[in-house]
Amino acid sequence: MTRTVIVGGGISGLATAFTLQERGSADSTLIESSPRWGGKITSFHEDGFTIEGGPDSFLTQKTAAIELCRRLGLEDQLVGSNSGKSAATYIWSSGRLHRMPEGMMLMAPTMVLPFLRSRLISWPGKMRAGLEVFIPRARGDEDESLAGFVRRRLGNELLNKIAGPLMGGIYAADPERLSLKSTFPTFLEMEKKHGSLLRGMMKRARPRATHGTKRPPMFMSLRGGLQQLSDALVARLPETNLRTGCRALAVSRHSDRYRVDLSDGSSLLADDVVFATPSFVTADLVEQLDPTLAARLRAIRYVSTATVSLGFRRSEVAHPLQGAGFIVPPSEGRRITACSWSSAKFQHRAPEDCVLLRVFIGGALAEELAEQDEAALTQLAREELQAILGIVATPVLARAYRWSKANPQYDLGHEERVAEIERSLGNLPGLHLAGAAYHGPGIPDCIQSGIKAVEAIAARQARGENSCRSDAPSCCIES
Per-residue pLDDT tens over the stretch 355-402: 999 999 999 999 999 999 999 999 999 999 999 999 999 999 999 999
Tens digit of each residue's pLDDT (9 = 90 or more) over 67-98: 999 999 999 999 998 865 567 899 999 999 99
CA distances to 218, 369, 384 from 360, in Å? 21, 10, 11
| DSSP character at residue 161 | I
CATH of the domain at 130: 1.10.3110.10
Domain for residue 334, yes or no?
Answer: yes
Among 374, 393, 408, where does a domain finish? 408
Domain for residue 389, yes or no?
Answer: yes
What range defines the domain where residue 193 resides?
Answer: 104-203
pLDDT of residue 385: 98
Pairing of strands 272-275, 338-340: unpaired
CB of 334 closer than 8 Å to CB of 421: no
> Are 295 and 435 part of one and the same domain?
yes
Q: Rounded distance, CA 276 to CA 477, Å?
A: 12
Nearest to residue 55, comparing CAs of 220, 283, 275, 293? 220
- The dihedral through the CA atoms of 446, 450, 456, 459 has a sign that is negative
Domain for residue 88, yes or no?
Answer: no
Question: Using CB atoms within 10 A of its CB, is residue 437 exposed (0-12), middle (13-18) or buried (19+)?
Answer: buried
Q: Residues in the chain with pLDDT < 70?
A: 1-2, 83-86, 204-215, 465-479
Domain for residue 294, yes or no?
Answer: yes
pLDDT of residue 85: 54
Domain for residue 115, yes or no?
Answer: yes
CA distances to 31, 228, 404 from 41, in Å? 17, 9, 14
Domain for residue 78, yes or no?
Answer: no
> Are 322 and 338 part of one and the same domain?
yes
pLDDT of residue 261: 97
CATH of the domain at 341: 3.90.660.20
pLDDT of residue 474: 27
Q: Rounded distance, CA 8 to CA 30, Å?
A: 7
> Are 114 and 261 part of one and the same domain?
no
> Are 347 and 445 part of one and the same domain?
no
> Are 416 and 295 part of one and the same domain?
yes
Among 203, 222, 256, where does a domain finish? 203
Q: Rounded distance, CA 396 to CA 446, Å?
A: 35
> Are 286 and 433 part of one and the same domain?
yes
Number of domains in the chain: 3
Domain for residue 349, yes or no?
Answer: yes
Nearest to residue 331, comparing CAs of 176, 192, 443, 187? 176
Domain for residue 64, yes or no?
Answer: no
